[in-house]
Structure formats: C-alpha cells, structure tokens
Amino acid sequence: MSVTVAKETKFYDGRSSKTHTVSVVLHGSTLQISDENRSTLASWSLNSIKVVDMPEGHLPATITSTTMPEARLQLAEDKGWKYIKSRLPRSAFKRSVPIHIGTLLGYGGMSVGAIIAIFYLFPSVIGSLAYFVPLSWQKTLGQHAVTSIVGDSKTCVAPDGVQALDKIASKLKTQMKRDIDYKIFVIDNSWMPNAFAAPGGYVIIYKKVIADAGSPEEVAGVLAHEMSHVDLRHATKSIIVDMGLSFFLTLMIGDSGSFSDIAKFFSQMSYSRHDETEADMNAKQIMERVNIDPRGLQAFLMRIHDMEKTVDEFLKLDEIKGSEYLEYFSTHPNTDKRIKALVVDNNNTYPAVLNDREWQNLKTICKKTRATKVK
C-alpha cells in the first residue's frame, strides 16, 4: 500500500547547498523521497527516522534518518505529518527530549570512549551532535565568542534606535523554531558591512550594515539570516565538525579558559555553503510569515556581491583593511549563487516593517554608545 504523505515540501540532502522540492510517499514501511523529475533522492525505513523538531505553529516538523544524518525533510502539520507520526517507533522521538552532554560525560571513561568511538567510527554523524549540546553551554560559549571578537569596541545603544531594532527582531523571533532569548549587539567599530551569529542566541551587526542599508527590510534580512544560523544550530555544528573530538575534550575541562579557546577558534570559522543557503532559505520563509518583504535580504546580498567585484581595489588599501575584507568574504562565500537560489516573488506587496521615524531612529542608533557588556 502506498500513501502520498506530502507534495512540494522541502528536502535538504546534507551533501549540497541545493534545496530540493520533493514529494513524499510511504510504501509499506519505507518513506520514499522523490524530486520534481520523480527521481528518488532517498528511501528511509520508518525505523531509521529521527524527529529533529516537532511542528510549532506555522513551522513544519523536521525529520532525518540514521542512514542520512545530515539530511533534513520538512513535513507540515497536516494529515501527512500526523500519518507518519502515528507510524513512527517510540525511538524516533528521543531527540525531542534534550540530552545533557554533562550527564553523558559524568559517567567518566566509558563516556569519553563512546565519544571517541563516534568520532572515529561514525564521522558522518558528528555534526548531529550539535543537537545534544545544552543551551546553557551554547550561551557560555557565545558569551566568550562575542567578547573575544568584539574586544574593546563599543555597542550602539541610542534608545529609540534600539527600540526600532527590537521591533524587527521580535517579529522574526515569533517564527523561530527554538525559544531562545536573542541578544543583538550593534557594534560601532567597523567599516565593513559585517554580521555574525554566535551560539546561544548572540547576534552581532556592525554599524556599516545599517548605515549602508537602503531600507529597514535590508536590516531585517540580515537579522533574519543570522538568527536563522542560531535557530538551526549552525555555529555549534560547525565548531564540532571543525574541531572534532577536541571540542568535547575542551568542554570537559569546563573552565573559562577552555571556552575562550573555542571562542577564538570560532572567530576564524566559516559556515558551509549548505549552512549559508539553508540560513538564507529559512530567513526568507520567516520574513514572509511575519509579513516582511524578503527582497530586503536579496538587496543586501546584491550589495555584497557588488563589493566582491571590487575586491582588487579594496586590497590596494592598507594591509589591515585588506585582511579584514578577505576575512569577511571567506565567512560569507558564494554570494552570487546565494542570490540565484534566493528566489522571491516580486508581485507580492508587504507593509513597511518600520515607519519613517523608526527607520531614522535605527539609522542613528550609534549616536549613543557604551562599552560592550556581554551577559
């Protein structure tokens, strides 16, 4: 017996940056995922499926398989998801209950040996360990990361500007999958339109992003993209993948110096092409759901793409600025491909996310600054 579970849903294979639009059919106890050309992309037995995220509001459920641990399939909260959910074994839902790594490590040598075995015998599942890192640890790591990267730079805190930025962030947060207390800092020290997200909900935006933006929707696009990195655990996953076993061994030490060492590593880390594209797609979807024009994100990426074209001229500047420029674009790769992948409907109309007064307040957020305090 075959049952169509979903049509035109999203599938990430975990091996490329492409987002596949797929149909999902349950053949007996096997879930078959096929693309628009009816080519089979994956066949998952029900016993291999793990639930990554349960559906929340407008957000779909996300599932994966032990045979393709980096892949993600989205299923909307409808009869299809309910049909699959009712047929999954109890073991499929274990991931929905947070597992505290501290508890695992507390068992001593056996746990260390188990972790070592995972890294050497099952390298394909390393990135999935990000789902088991407690939020409290992510926040501690994020605090050290922000402190390490920002240094002595000041934060822009003009009250009216902060209020305008919070208005945008609050809208975006309503559609994020994870209930995280996002802390957003606008930094007053960079000529580069840069932004990054640290584990635990920390988002940094350099003032140049706001200064150069042609609309508040551009700022909203950048914010949605960085918040998506946090929501999708990209930062934590990238650190685990890049640092390998040393990440967990460092966490076992548990002192502030250990977290600082990881934070320094984080400052030189770059996201994978898949993570950047996934964050773009997630940001676009969230902006649409909260009625913010997603063309703002596209406009920002086009601005960055124009800057990439003039890289030679930038590198003729002093050595410090040249190295900073290269560092920025090494962490935000393949902008042209990201723009092409970010298809938006130009026929849709959206209300302004900020009124003229609020937009001007955001533009002048750096008229008041103070020392950056990360809590």
pLDDT tens digit string along 123-142? 455 556 666 677 777 887 78
The residue among 48, 70, 97 that closes a domain is 97
In a domain, 76, yes or no: yes
Phi/psi at 8 (5° precision): 55, 50
Q: Which residues pair with 19 in a beta bridge?
A: 12
In a domain, 78, yes or no: yes
In b/e form, how buried is each residue of 72-81, taking b as 16+ CB within 10 angstroms? bbbbebeebb
Do 146 and 204 belong together in one domain?
A: yes
* pLDDT at res. 52: 77
* pLDDT at res. 270: 66
pLDDT tens, residue by residue, 300-311:
888 877 776 665
Do 91 and 162 belong together in one domain?
A: no
Do 142 and 254 belong together in one domain?
A: yes
Whether the CB-CB separation of 264 and 148 falls below 8 Å is answered with yes
Q: What is the pTM of this model?
A: 0.63
Strand-strand pairing, 202-206 and 183-187: parallel
* pLDDT at res. 268: 56
Name, in order, each residue with C-beta under 8 angstroms of 352's C-beta and a sequence gap of 6 or more. 216, 217, 359
Do 319 and 365 belong together in one domain?
A: yes
* pLDDT at res. 248: 55
Residue 44 is part of a domain; what is its CATH number? 2.30.29.30
Cα→Cα distances 341→279, 284, 349, 361, Å = 12, 11, 21, 33
One-letter amino acid at 306 equals D
In a domain, 130, yes or no: no
**Domain interval for residue 83:** 2-97
Do 218 and 352 belong together in one domain?
A: yes
* pLDDT at res. 105: 41
Do 76 and 208 belong together in one domain?
A: no
Phi/psi at 49 (5° precision): -80, 140
Whole-number Å distance between alpha carbons of 74 and 272: 20
Do 189 and 77 belong together in one domain?
A: no
Do 200 and 82 belong together in one domain?
A: no
In a domain, 124, yes or no: no
Do 150 and 60 belong together in one domain?
A: no
* pLDDT at res. 107: 36
For the chain, the domain total comes to 2
In a domain, 112, yes or no: no
In a domain, 51, yes or no: yes
In a domain, 8, yes or no: yes
pLDDT tens, residue by residue, 165-177:
999 999 999 988 8
Q: Within a 13 Å sphere around the CA of 177, how many CA atoms are in the beta-carbon half?
A: 20
The residue among 43, 76, 97 that closes a domain is 97
Do 255 and 335 belong together in one domain?
A: yes
In a domain, 338, yes or no: yes
Do 38 and 176 belong together in one domain?
A: no
* pLDDT at res. 234: 85
* pLDDT at res. 322: 43
Do 86 and 159 belong together in one domain?
A: no
Name, in order, each residue with C-beta under 8 angstroms of 32's C-beta and a sequence gap of 6 or more. 24, 25, 26, 40, 42, 43
Whole-number Å distance between alpha carbons of 23 and 45: 16
* pLDDT at res. 269: 61
Taking only the tens of pLDDT, the chain with its 375 residues reads 688 888 888 887 766 646 788 999 998 889 999 998 889 999 999 999 988 777 765 567 888 888 887 778 888 767 678 888 888 988 888 543 333 344 334 433 435 555 555 554 444 555 566 666 777 778 877 887 888 778 889 999 999 999 999 999 999 999 888 888 899 999 997 677 788 888 889 999 999 999 999 999 999 999 999 999 999 888 877 777 655 555 555 555 554 455 555 655 565 566 777 788 889 999 999 999 999 999 999 888 888 777 766 654 544 444 444 444 444 444 444 677 777 777 777 778 899 999 999 999 999 999 999 998 888
